[in-house]
Amino acid sequence: MVKILKKVSFRLLWFILIILTILIVHTLGITNLSTLSLNYNEVIFETVSPNGKNRAVVFNRNLGATTGHNYQISILKWNEGLRNRTGNAFISYSPINVEWQNDEILVVEILENKKIFKQINEVGRISILYVFPDE
């Protein structure tokens, strides 16, 4: 009888612990475990398209002590948040300037000849023009 009570109380304790953990996670708003990642995006600046429907977010993606400073661009809808992901348009070690030419064209001026990891020419209906430094 004592062994049965120990098994029941052990299972009950685990059940209570699991319920408490779920309640704490829900209360703190941690519903996506990726938010616990040490990687994060640090916004450098953002610019809104002339019609206000889109924005270009320039940011540095920090992946910890082993990564250098990088410049990334994500093209987003005006109300879309920057997620904890890499840029959807551009990734490089080179500093950049970004400016909207019109509602559908973004001009990216690359300021230094450094490694480019990603260079997309179109995101949705937005075309991206790249201007490189003189060599």
List, for residues 73-103, the tens digit of each pLDDT value. Answer: 999 999 999 998 999 999 999 999 999 999 9
List, for residues 22-81, the tens digit of each pLDDT value. Answer: 767 666 655 544 445 567 899 999 999 999 999 999 999 987 666 678 999 999 999 999
Q: Where are the domains of the chain?
A: 2-31, 38-131
**pLDDT tier at 11 (50, 70, 90 boundaries)?**
confident
Q: What is the pTM of this model?
A: 0.69
Please write down the HEC assignment for all residues of 42-100: EEEEEEECCCCCEEEEEEEEECCCCCCCCEEEEEEECCCCCCCCCCCCEEECCCEEEEE
User: Average pLDDT, whole number, for the chain?
Assistant: 85
Assigned token pair, 121: 């020419």
Evaluate whether 117 touches 91 at the Cβ level (below 8 Å).
yes
